[in-house]
Structure 1
Amino acid sequence: MLPCASLADLPEASAPRAGHPSADIWWWPYRTQDDWNRIRQTLAVDEQTRADRFHFSKDATAFMAGRYLQRTVLSAYSAIPAPALIIATGTNGKPYLADQAGGENITFNLSNTDGLAVFIISRNCSAVGIDVETRSALLEPQTADLFCSPAELETLSTLQGPERQSLLLAYWTLKESFLKATGHGLTVAPHSLNVRLDPMTKAISVDSALAADGADWHHRLLHSASNHLIAISTRSDRADLMLRQHRLPDPH
């Protein structure tokens, strides 16, 4: 059994709350029947251009869903109007808010896949990362050799069928969320990381030279009612950091 909790069981985070450190997950199970022409108009020009470049409409829709979610939530937390947000990217593509009043100390990260966009945001973490995948996604057995550590491969060798696929997907999403949080992305070989899961204590750790500086890293696995697996990585020295969630209302 994976140390995986239900997204819906997390405390509600309908709006920023002062006084208690938190990392908030906003999620949107978008629909194909949503008004995508109107949603597209809320995006920046460069985001609209990127959406137009996708070959398949479902990929363009997933991209627009994520960017709409990102702008909506960042606007709520920073009090900067969504169209005025300047979202820049670092060397390896990690996003951050350009120097704007209201956006100080905000860390955030976005992920989207078919049917679900998720976004994590915090003023109490020096780094956050998130990844989402459909739980029914089938990873080819040979891909394990590409991104799994020797210890992970040894554990996988004892499993078969759905149980093996479930663990393989957990390894992948956790490595994605961690590398997105550090800002390295896939410039670091995923097999150089080693994920350790303890189903008894629910503890999750990622062994990596990137986490060897004594920083307080915390990792979580969550599942959604839409049959998605979500991995969270946060870096914070606050032991009382609360993880919260909120479903983005459908646009009208």
Structure 2
Amino acid sequence: MSGLNCMWLSAPTDLTLLPNDVHIWRIELDRPEAQLENLAATLSSDELTRAHRFHFQEHRQRFIAGRGILRQILGSYLGIEPQQVQFDYQHRGKPVLADTLASTGLFFNLSHSQGLALCAVNCDRLIGVDLEYIRPMSDVEALAQRFFLPREYDLMRSLPAEQKQEIFFRYWTCKEAYLKATGEGIAQLEKIEIVLTPTEPARLQTIKDWSLLEIVPAENYLAAVAVAGFGWQLKCWQY
């Protein structure tokens, strides 16, 4: 496995984000009821409406935890209370800081799967993160043929059965991280070429001025972070 196993540290109280820093936060979404109530109190009315649309309580609680903790993280960088963080939404639903906060230059992206979430934060660079729980899928080859480029599909198909799922999710997270950074949709998956092997880290083939980093945030999870440009420093925080 070529992904990076980060050293997840407790964030300092005087959290600072230098111009070339990229911070990745690992967030456990299954939280005690009392904490969920406090987090829900910081959400906007539209976020609460979204939360209550979830049929299953588990999904509703994880959404509240993810958005509430995102607000706490961003508020700590911005020096404001979590409920003061305001979002706008791009045409595909990607949350960004509202115009009133855009002058801060803070970019972020959030991804969640099952009970885990990752939040990527930096200054002045487009950034995207995708997190996937590795689950057994019977149609993994068909999905690869549909969404991947021919040479990506050929590589995956050539591998032993036990490696196919991992390679599929590596391709998927890398493509999604870039598309989330740019705000493009899943329809563009097959236009983004990723070069990787079972033992070598991934890189973006079609886009030259972007960095790509694969992360193993927990057992049975894979993630990727796409960042515009190069020369940045990674720090990994455990919320």
Q: Please confirm whether the aligned pair reaches a TM-score higher than 0.5, indicating the same fold.
A: yes
Matched residues, percent identical? Answer: 27
- Superposed displacement of residue 189, structure 1: 2.8
Q: Deviation at 1:160?
A: 2.5
- Tell me by how many angstroms 1:245 deviates: 0.8
Listed as ranges, the matches of 1:202-241 within 5 Å are 202-208=200-206, 211=207, 216-236=209-229, 238-239=230-231, 241=232
- The yes-or-no answer on 1:184 pairing with 2:184 is yes
Distance 1:33 1:12 in 2: 20
Give the deviation of 1:206 after TM superposition.
2.2
| Residue 243 of structure 1, aligned match among 200, 224, 234 | 234
**Map of 1:132 onto structure 2:** 131
Q: Mark the CA change 1:108 to 1:91 in structure 2 (over 3 Å): closer, same or farther.
A: same
Counterpart for residue 114 of structure 1 = 114
C-alpha distance in 2, partners of 1:58/1:160?
Answer: 35
Contact between 2:174 and 2:225, CA under 8 Å: does it hold in 1?
Answer: yes
* TM-score in terms of structure 2 length: 0.88
- Unpaired segments of 5 or more residues in structure 1? none
| Contact 1:221–1:232 (CA under 8 A) maintained in structure 2 | yes
Using the TM superposition, give the Cα deviation of residue 71 of structure 1 relative to its aligned residue in structure 2, in angstroms.
0.5
What is the CA–CA distance in structure 2 between the aligned matches of 1:139 and 1:4, rounded to whole Å? 24
Q: How many angstroms does 1:48 deviate by? A: 0.7
What is the CA–CA distance in structure 2 between the aligned matches of 1:139 and 1:51, rounded to whole Å?
Answer: 31
Q: Does the 8 A contact of 2:42 with 2:83 survive in 1?
A: yes
- How far, CA to CA, are the matches of 1:223 and 1:105 in structure 2? 28
Q: Which amino acid aligns with 1:242?
A: Q
The count of corresponding residues between Structure 1 and Structure 2 is 236
Paired position in structure 2 for 1:75: 75
- Whole-Å separation in 1 of the counterparts to 2:47 and 2:169: 29
Contact 1:62/1:113 (CA < 8 Å) preserved in 2?
Answer: no
Query: C-alpha offsets along residues 111-166 of structure 1, whole Å, 9 cap, x if unaligned?
Result: 111110110010142x0000111123536222112211101111011113221110
Alignment check: 8 A CA contact 2:134 2:165 kept: no
CA contact (8 A) 1:78 1:102 kept: no
Mapped partners of 2:136, 2:23: distance in 1: 26
Q: Structure 1 length normalisation: TM-score?
A: 0.84
Residue 5 of structure 1 aligns to a residue in which SS? coil
**Structure 1, residues 31-74: CA drift from partner, whole Å, max 9, x if none?**
25443233222211110110000112222222222212210111
Alignment-mate amino acid for residue 234 of structure 2: L
CA contact (8 A) 1:151 1:194 kept: no
Q: Which letter does structure 2 place at the counterpart of 1:74? A: L
Name whichever of 87-96 and 114-123 sits farther off. 87-96
The one-letter code matched in structure 1 to 2:24 is: I
Which position in structure 2 is the counterpart of 1:37?
A: 37
Is the CA contact (8 Å cut-off) linking 2:174 and 2:212 kept in structure 1?
yes
Is the CA contact 1:3–1:197 (under 8 Å) kept in the aligned structure 2?
A: no
CA distance in structure 1 between the partners assigned to 2:138 and 2:227 by the alignment: 26
